[in-house]
Amino acid sequence: MDAYTPTLVALLIILAVVFLRQKKPSSPPLLIITQVEGEKSNTVGDELVTFRARFLQIYSLAIAADWLQGSFTYSLYKNTHQVTETTIASLFITGFLSAGIGAFFAGTFADRFGQKRACLSYCFLYAVSCLLIMSPNLKPLFIGRVLSGLGTTILFTAFEAWMIAECNRLGFGDDDGILNSIFGTMSVLNGFIAITCGLVSQLLVKLTSSEKAPFIASIICLVPASYLISTSWVENYGTKNLSSRVPSDGTLSRLWPRIFTVTYVTTFLEGSMYIMVFSWAGILISDDKTSNNSVSLPFGIIFASFMSSMTLGSYIFKIATKHDNHSLQVSSHAIQIALSFAASGLLLAVMFERAIFRFWALCLFELSLGIYFPAVAYVKGILVPEEHRAKIYGAMRLPVNAFVMFVLSKVEDTDESREDRLVRYEGIDIS
């Protein structure tokens, strides 16, 4: 047995225990109905549960299409297509450049033409990118990265914007506890889907002896997702009036420094995450080669372990905010804790020399992301005005993409180059 599987088993056991403990209370699943306060009727509670289930069903398929590719994208380029390290970096830069440019238009498109249409465009763009990445030629690979970058921007802006807008339309947006619970549920669900996708992709590659199989599976997820969006979602646009929680007087201008602060944190923490998407396989492969290990690394198992760590972090956030009435303050503290954990994980990944120790350090980094994502999603949901939510969310991703492109442009075909990047991210996160 490889050294990575026991870690995954241990993480899954911990998650199972936490999950079962969370299910013990007699309250309805995911604490949604119990958070409908005042004189809201059971009918309203049922409507909320239906809305949540409809959204999460489609969100699960959409995010699964992304996670299925996560464990084998680098390996497909490196091992199957025999692409050099610098060219792989150029491919990733192309994706982030596309995402950065798309951020200028994705939000405007979603606000003007509808967030439902934007989500449908994600399904189409991502499906085509999955087809192109299977080509051994560089031109289709680069075109695929362009489409993938556009799709990623839409995935992380339009779906969330649609959910918040629909929640407000149905009259649930004024209850901070409901939004906080949905964000926490999304993050936990995201983690479980990512774990499953890592294991499924590993199994598919083993059964087919092809690293292209996970990308075909992604397309299979996107087809029903697009159908369900078309048939079960209503269209939402940027509203003509600001949310009642964000007044149009001088209070709004005072929110922009906070939005800038959130954008700053997002840039460097999420930027570090995207660099890790590029770097983690190379870091572990390098040590695997120096130890003369002839057995190829189980990328799916490793990826599932990372996602298990992230899911555990999401549970930590969910438990911390379960009974708190000051969710904005708690979420802000959670982001600070996540930054500390992220910095520690990256520092340890540089200090250790053995791959298994680096792997554990990166698991700590992923745990910090699990705490961070639901916390920052809630903070953005409170601070960002409703009328231009998708546009602002897209704009907030611009510095993330710029940061990642700058770092990847410095990539060299040496292991020292990777470690230098990790040191820089660690220093940025601490600051």
Q: What is the pLDDT of residue 245?
A: 47
Does residue 44 carry a pLDDT above 70? no
- Cβ atoms 96, 151 nearer than 8 A: no
Within 13 Å and on the Cβ side, how many CA atoms surround 327? 25
Residue keyed to tokens 């465009």: 121
- CATH value at residue 180: 1.20.1250.20
Residue keyed to tokens 């992709």: 201
Indicate whether 13 belongs to any domain.
no
Tokens of 395: 């704009």
d(CA 324, CA 326): 6
Indicate whether 238 belongs to any domain.
no
d(CA 60, CA 228): 12
Torsion angle in degrees (nearest 10) through CA of 217, 220, 222, 225: -130
User: Which amino acid, 40?
Assistant: K
* Among the ranges given (76-80, 106-110, 347-351, 412-416), the one the predictor scored with the smallest mean pLDDT: 412-416
Q: Which of 102, 243, 113 is nearest to 168 (CA)?
A: 243
Q: What is the pLDDT of residue 365?
A: 92
**Tens digits of per-residue pLDDT, 252-279?**
566 677 778 888 888 888 888 888 877 7
Q: What is the pLDDT of residue 386?
A: 67
Q: What is the pLDDT of residue 392?
A: 78
Does residue 291 carry a pLDDT above 90? no
Handedness of CA 24, 336, 268, 357 (dihedral sign): negative
Q: What is the pLDDT of residue 101?
A: 83
User: What are the C-alpha distances in Å from 88 to residues 260, 275, 290, 412?
Assistant: 32, 12, 22, 11
Indicate whether 34 belongs to any domain.
no
Indicate whether 36 belongs to any domain.
no
Q: How many domains, in total, are found in the chain?
A: 1
**Tens digits of per-residue pLDDT, 144-169?**
999 999 998 889 888 888 888 888 88
d(CA 312, CA 367): 6
Range of the domain at 404: 49-231+251-430
Does residue 420 carry a pLDDT above 70? no
The arithmetic mean of pLDDT across residues 59-78, rounded, is: 90
The arithmetic mean of pLDDT across residues 308-331, rounded, is: 79
Indicate whether 342 belongs to any domain.
yes
Indicate whether 30 belongs to any domain.
no
Does residue 241 carry a pLDDT above 50? no
First vs last C-alpha separation in the chain: 40
Indicate whether 241 belongs to any domain.
no
Indicate whether 42 belongs to any domain.
no
**Tens digits of per-residue pLDDT, 180-192?**
778 778 877 887 8
Does residue 126 carry a pLDDT above 90? yes
Q: In 10 A of CB 200, how many CB atoms? A: 19
